[in-house]
Amino acid sequence: MKSRWQVFWHLFFWVIMISFLIFVAQLDQKISMKEILVVFILYSAINISLFYINYLILLPRFFHKKQYGIYIITVVILVILFGLGKYGVGLIFKPFILVHSKGHMISFVQYFLGTLFTSVFFLFLSTALKFAIDWFLNERIQRDLENQRLSAELSFLKSQINPHFLFNSLNSIYSLAYQRSATTPEAILKLSEIMRYMLYECNDNKVDLAKELQYLQNYIDLQKIRFSNKAYIDYKVEGVIGNQQIVPLLLIAFIENAFKHGVANDPLTPIRLLIDVDEEHLHFYIQNKKHHNNRDASGGIGLNNVKRRLNLLYPNKYNLDIKDETDTYTVELSLVL
């Protein structure tokens, strides 16, 4: 289908150009319309043949392979041969091609130099078109390769989320099972709901913000079960949740780290989580008291992951501020949805 469109536009261009030249030529009433059509069709066939020989054969075979010497020699020979061919057409239609307006005969050298300009013009036109098309194709290929690279990187980053989350959640459920807690079945059920969302709802580039917030709520509920309902978190969502969308699994890393590396069981210093939303913006705030006895350094995977995803998916559309202070750890994220 694409090649058909290319043929169409090439034909359209030549028809328009030849029609314009014929229209200009027929203003000279000394030349019959029949002679005009014959001459212009012949000369157009010669010039267009030169155009496509250079465009389809010489440039790909010699110039693009850096065989510049062979290309120049071939072009010079073609220009001479096509000049002789044009002069032959001129001899056939001598009265109105080779005869000057004052009645003088145009010499071979004069006519050949004139046809030389025309041949060089068509060679230049075909070369310019070839380089322009090659440049656009190369740019498109580069964009496609870059998009494929980014897509592969995003897929890799997303594939890290599930194992990371599953690892932390299974640790929590293992702790409940080890304690023979009656809430273990509820925790497993909650985890299954979370994993169902992660496996089946997060395949698109963006998801409904309402579903993502429900996913965060399920995770918080799971953590409360883990802490025997002694996990203290002040969680508020402000603004109207409508048709806004967000990249899935983007905010969970901050909440995971708050529970994993912070103090969640102190009612005097609860984890503070605020999500403020309007039609186009989201402001995310979370703060937790630091657990100074926690020496687990493996939690950095999630933060590095989300930073990279923000750079790829929200370039120049977010502001991330992380404050690692002596007693508290605070994350603020402003996002253009």
- The answer on 279 and 133 residing in a single domain is no
State the pLDDT confidence band at 151, using cuts at 50, 70 and 90.
low
Give 99's DSSP letter. B
In a domain? residue 197: yes
**pLDDT reported for residue 276:** 94
- The answer on 202 and 128 residing in a single domain is no
299, pLDDT greater than 50 = no
The Cα 71–Cα 64 span in angstroms is 10
Average pLDDT in the 268-280 region? 90
The Cα 56–Cα 301 span in angstroms is 53
- The answer on 311 and 223 residing in a single domain is yes
In a domain? residue 153: no
Q: Are strands 271-277 and 233-238 parallel, antiparallel or unpaired?
A: parallel
How many helices, marked H, and strands, marked E, lie in the chain? 9, 8
Q: Look at residues 93, 127, 143 and tell me which one is the last residue of a structural domain.
A: 143
- The answer on 204 and 295 residing in a single domain is yes
- The answer on 239 and 131 residing in a single domain is no
- The answer on 300 and 211 residing in a single domain is yes
- The answer on 303 and 242 residing in a single domain is yes
In this structure, of 52-56, 74-78, 104-108, the range with the lowest mean pLDDT score is 104-108
Q: Look at residues 143, 173, 198 and tell me which one is the last residue of a structural domain.
A: 143
Better-scored residue on pLDDT, 245 or 38: 245
- The answer on 130 and 78 residing in a single domain is yes
In a domain? residue 169: no
Can you give the CATH number for the domain in which 224 is found? 3.30.565.10
The Cα 56–Cα 67 span in angstroms is 16
Average pLDDT in the 235-261 region? 87
In a domain? residue 8: yes
- The answer on 191 and 330 residing in a single domain is yes
In a domain? residue 78: yes
In a domain? residue 252: yes
In a domain? residue 173: no
123 touches 75 (CB < 8 A): yes
- The answer on 303 and 202 residing in a single domain is yes
In this structure, of 84-98, 147-161, 282-296, the range with the lowest mean pLDDT score is 147-161
Output the DSSP codes for 133-179.
HHHHHHHHHHHHHHHHHHHHHHHHHHHHHHHHHHHHHHHHHHHHHHT
216, pLDDT greater than 50 = yes
In this structure, of 18-22, 120-124, 277-281, 315-319, the range with the lowest mean pLDDT score is 18-22
State the pLDDT confidence band at 286, using cuts at 50, 70 and 90.
very high
Give 327's DSSP letter. S
Q: Look at residues 93, 117, 143 and tell me which one is the last residue of a structural domain.
A: 143
159, pLDDT greater than 60 = no
The Cα 35–Cα 44 span in angstroms is 14
Domains contained in the chain, number:
2
Q: What are the φ and ψ backbone dihedral angles of 193, each rounded to 5 degrees?
A: -65, -40
Query: How many Å separate Cα 180 from the centre of its chain?
Result: 52
- The answer on 74 and 138 residing in a single domain is yes
The range of the structural domain enclosing residue 234 comes to: 181-336
In a domain? residue 164: no
Residues written for the chain: 337
- The answer on 139 and 268 residing in a single domain is no
